[in-house]
Amino acid sequence: MRKQNNDCGDNMSTKKVILLIVVPIIVIYSGFASIAILRFHWNTPPEHIALAYLTAIKNRDTQNIYSYSKKLRPNLENMMNKSDVSDEQRQQLLKDDFARWKQDFDKKSKKADNLHKEQLLLPPQVQIMVATPEEYKAETLVDGDVSLISYEDIPLEVYNRYIQLDYTLSSAAPTMGIFENIRKSKNKRIKSVVVRVEVRRRPDIGGFKAMIIDWDWIEDIDIIFPCKMFGREENPYHTWIADIGFEVDKISLKTF
């Protein structure tokens, strides 16, 4: 009987030891898994918004253009975040600003925030695809002198993504003069070109969300977490804003 009691005591001790080891491991794993899934949800690849933004302009999808462009909704939201605006006032301001902008957009107004050049660059007939040039350099004026500049990413803050635009109809294609660094043959129509889309993290992202996004070391270990199985990518608008660069790498230009 005493031996049986001893055996029971040993079994209980073994179970306690196992629990003391296993439970903390489960808790730690669950914590890191939650962080990895949150980061997967928030930190959508920047090329997603680059494609989404250009596609929205091509389709004249005003709601998404307004949300993605750094000149429009994100700019207004950033200003409101710096002022004492209630949620109700915030929604009304966004609604009124969108209605004002959409009216100008539909009229093809040439106001500064109407993306007139973007509309010309992306007619409904254009074909859009991701490009991965080995290098992308554009001539630009710096202090009155022409310089060849390249573009560097700032991890987690600014990314440069490249999109190839192909035009099947010369009548629908923009002229080379649409680009700011073209000084000759401005009236030639573009057959194909690679444009740069600057993708920036929204300036109003802060606190816990910013901290999780900044933890890029999670990418080194997220293979052990089921992010893509249980996580869902958020609309890239919630993390990124986009803008098209109109200084082009001339090597990528082809004309009709």
Contacts of 193 (CB under 8 A, 6+ apart): 164, 165, 248, 252, 253, 254
239 occurs within a structural domain? no
28 occurs within a structural domain? yes
Identify the pLDDT of residue 238: 85
**What is the b/e burial string over 205-233, where b = at least 16 CB atoms within 10 angstroms of the residue's CB?**
eeeebeebbbeeebeeebeebebeeebee
Tokens 């009548």 correspond to what residue?
171
Identify the pLDDT of residue 178: 94
Q: Which residues form the domain of 10?
A: 1-42+205-232
Angle between helices 73-81 and 87-106 (to 10 degrees): 150
For the chain, how many structural domains are there in total?
A: 1
93 occurs within a structural domain? no
CA distances from residue 230 to 25, 37, 219 in whole angstroms, order as listed: 20, 7, 16
226 occurs within a structural domain? yes
Q: Residue 143 in 3-state DSSP? A: coil
211 occurs within a structural domain? yes
Identify the pLDDT of residue 64: 93
92 occurs within a structural domain? no
Identify the pLDDT of residue 95: 93
220 occurs within a structural domain? yes
Task: Classify residue 72 as exposed, middle or buried by CB count within 10 Å of its CB (0-12, 13-18, 19+).
Answer: buried
* Residue 158 token pair: 């600014």
DSSP of 173-204: SPBGGGSTT--SSTTSBEEEEEEEEEEEE-TT
Q: Would you give per-residue pLDDT tens digits along the chain (256 residues)?
A: 544 555 555 555 777 777 778 888 888 877 777 778 778 778 788 899 999 999 999 999 999 999 999 888 888 888 887 788 888 898 999 999 999 999 888 887 777 567 889 999 999 999 999 999 888 999 886 666 778 888 999 988 999 999 999 999 999 999 999 999 888 889 999 999 999 999 999 888 878 888 888 887 777 776 776 655 565 667 888 889 999 999 999 999 999 9
In the chain, alpha helices (H)? 2-42, 46-58, 62-68, 73-81, 87-106, 116-121, 207-214, 227-230
Tell me if 187 sits within 8 A of 172, measured CB to CB: no
1 occurs within a structural domain? yes
